[in-house]
Amino acid sequence: MEAPIQGLSTQEVMDRKERGDMGKPPGSITKTKAQVFKENIFTLFNLLNFIIAALLFAVGAYSNMIFIVIIIINIVIGIAQELKAKKLIDELSILNRPKAKLVRDGREIVVETEDIVIDDVMVLESGHQICNDGIVLGGMAEVNESLLTGESDAILKTEGSELFSGSFVVTGKCYAKTTHVGSENYAVKLMEETKKAKRVSSELLGSMKQVTRFTSFLIVPLGILLFLEAIMLRQVLVSDAVVSSSAALLGMLPKGLVLLIAVSLANGVIRLANMKILVQNIYSLETLAHVDVLCLDKTGTITDGKMKVKEVLPLSDSTNKKLSPLIQSYLAASNDNNATFQALQEHFGTNSVYQQTYKVPFSSLRKWGAVSFHTAGTVFIGAAERIMNVLPSDVEHQIEKGCRAVVIGYYNGEWQNERELPDEIEPLCAVILEDNIRKGTAKTLEYFRKEGVEVKVISGDHIKTVSIIAKKAGLEEWENAVDLSSFGEITDYDSICMKYTVFARVTPKQKQLLVMAMKRAGHQVAMTGDGVNDLLALREADCSIAIAEGSDASRQISQIVLLDSDFANLPQVVLEGRKVINHVTRTAGIFFIKTIYSLLLSLFFLLFNMPFPFIPIQITLIDAFIEAYPSFLTIFESNTKRVRSSFLRTALANAAPFALTITAGIIFISLTLPFDTQQRQTIMYMLLILVSMLSVIKSCIPFTKLRIFICVTMVFGAFGALWILPQLFEISAMTRAMLSYIGEVFVGLLLFLALLIGIKQNIEKHDDLG
């Protein structure tokens, strides 16, 4: 800067705040409390249940309305759990919130983004999020506007250039006067819009929407037909018709499953929050369950990003006398603040010996930067192979040991071409830098390997440097590496994405293309990153994970943020999602059993003009003891097996044998049983309970102490309720003949169930082989 920028005075800031020329506090990244209440109360399932309850109330069937108590308890639990998760996420998001650096009263200060007022002077450096529109007053920076325009190329901003909120500084440093705040900004509510830039797809949410649409499509016409048939053809009382029809409809609604999914996800988010891991979207947790490829950025992820100069290797004798002042002048003029330049500044120091005339900021795309000085030529700093065509053996040796090498070159003249290097660069020295592998990295990578998650290392560094770092980190296939700078513009990413394990000299765009190719190959991809060069890949990945020590940009755009920057927590992040999916998938089949047999039996009894054999209070007992109780008691179990199949397909496949067995048994008894109506319905209900309990017992294999306790208490609880309150559940006393018949039919149903399970397993085996 030719003249120091004073910025606003304290009094000017106060005046603008009084006029209202300031931003508003950023909204929560989570749902509002009103949204939590609304989404848990006003659902289609709840509406249908309350309509059924109202109809039962209208005909005086009060005892059959007990199910509505369970619905209300579900709503309360769901709201309480989501609010608890919201509180933790909001507290952690404060740590993740970007701050703004301003110039006020002639000095640089850091403030919350909502404290910025119009005409404030923002100080913008590499990795900073541009949170307000502005005009550049001085300096030079390259800005990524991909969130606004979709174009990934960085745009050079110099004095007089416009800056837009919603973009990020890639490299360089500039001072900009704020022109808009709050709702007048180009990108209103930047943080929320950043999250919307990539929507999270949820298989669980999508599956439940499919089930909701399907059951809703059938439940109304079926309910009307069942009611009209009872009134017009069988000429029963209106109250009896409502009760019978309501039981059929209640059975079709997997009521507790929606709550189970919400509570499971919320519990996962809470567990991660306690580990200082911020999940910025609750459904991001689910995507982690399906991840089978994890892409790691080297610097800042595998390593701690804190580099230091190991040694300086001279490459020329002609300019040794002015080498130090040239480097110090370059570092004083440069606005680059990445780990490499911080290490160079610490080693060489900064001193404006020469007056700068022009500078080209260092970028990960160019892999070099330059500063021209008045009468002193131009100094270049860049990747060794960019500045030199052939590397000396001692430099190669250091690279082979896993160190990073940057070369400082000199050109006798001014250079303002930002795309090409001059042919007459004279290499002055090679600076050898080293960084530290994060603690626990080898153990973490080994854990992923055992869990079936393939790890890829993607870096902009030299291929030998990246490979050796990968070797030191414990990556088994560290030698399976490729240098993407050797590929032309037309590259077959689909063939190389899974062929290689280590990718070096990768540009930001190439990182994105690699992730896209892996997704096209059918993989679920997670990407970790800490810098603006990772932005495109982070946005493209199924799950994006940022390191808190990284840039504002990477933290704001990622779904998961490791607030303590602990790489060793990555396995827990990935596997926490598996716990949720595996638990929900295991228990969802139990909920769908009732949905399937209720639908099939409704169609059967409608076709044969027979009353539905159960009443709402009986269905409620199954909801409570056989569905809800076992499912929610095992919610904290840890099953981290790899998720290989579709949630809905697996859940329905697990439910089908039991649902078909129940349907076959009820139909058989309806057509053949010689007992009276009350006894016949009691026998049907007993067999219904027994087969439903078998599904829970099967889902609990392999048994643990908790699962044995659940199965035993489920049996005693359900049958105990029937024994204590037979009149409430409208069951008749059991006779010896009834018990004998139940035993005979139950044995037959067991054989039928075993046959169906065998067929299911053969189909699954055939699918696996296919």
The residues annotated as belonging to the active site are 297
Angle at 570 between CA 567 and CA 573, to 5 degrees: 145
CB 89 within 8 A of CB 280: yes
Name the token pair of 517: 């190719």
Q: Tokens 């079936």, residue?
A: 452
Angle at 618 between CA 614 and CA 620, to 5 degrees: 125
CB 466 within 8 A of CB 481: yes
Instruction: Name the packing angle between helices 320-333 and 339-348 (round to 10°).
Output: 130
Bridge partners of 293, per DSSP, are 454, 525
Of 521, 548, 526, nearest to 537 (Cα)?
526
**Could you give the CA distance from residue 475 to residue 91 in angstroms, rounded to a whole number?**
36
Name the token pair of 454: 């393939």
CB environment 66-97: b (16+ within 10 A), e (fewer): bbbebbeebbebbbebbbebbebbeebbeebb
**Could you give the CA distance from residue 737 to residue 300 in angstroms, rounded to a whole number?**
74
CB 284 within 8 A of CB 526: no
Of 498, 505, 501, 497, nearest to 459 (Cα)?
505
DSSP, res 489: S
Sign of CA dihedral 314, 318, 323, 326: negative
CA-based radius of gyration for the chain: 33
Provide the phi-psi class of 368: left if phi over 0, else alpha when psi is between -120 and 50, else beta: beta
User: For strand 454-458 and strand 293-297, is the pairing parallel, antiparallel, or unpaired?
Assistant: parallel
Instruction: Name the packing angle between helices 570-607 and 441-450 (round to 10°).
Output: 30
**Could you give the CA distance from residue 223 to residue 721 in angstroms, rounded to a whole number?**
29
User: For strand 167-178 and strand 121-125, is the pairing parallel, antiparallel, or unpaired?
Assistant: antiparallel
3-state secondary structure of 501: coil
User: For strand 543-547 and strand 525-529, is the pairing parallel, antiparallel, or unpaired?
Assistant: parallel
**Could you give the CA distance from residue 184 to residue 117 in angstroms, rounded to a whole number?**
12
Residues in the chain: 770
Phi, psi of 87 (to 5 degrees): -60, -45
Distance of CA 289 to the CA centre of its chain: 9
Instruction: Name the packing angle between helices 238-252 and 44-58 (round to 10°).
Output: 160
CB 545 within 8 A of CB 527: yes
DSSP, res 351: -
Phi, psi of 56 (to 5 degrees): -65, -40
User: In terms of C-beta density within 10 A (0-12 exposed, 13-18 middle, 19 or more buried), how is residue 113 classed?
Assistant: buried
Q: Tokens 């995507």, residue?
A: 287
CB environment 598-635: b (16+ within 10 A), e (fewer): bbbbbebbbeeebbbbbbbbbbbbbbbbbbbbbbbebb
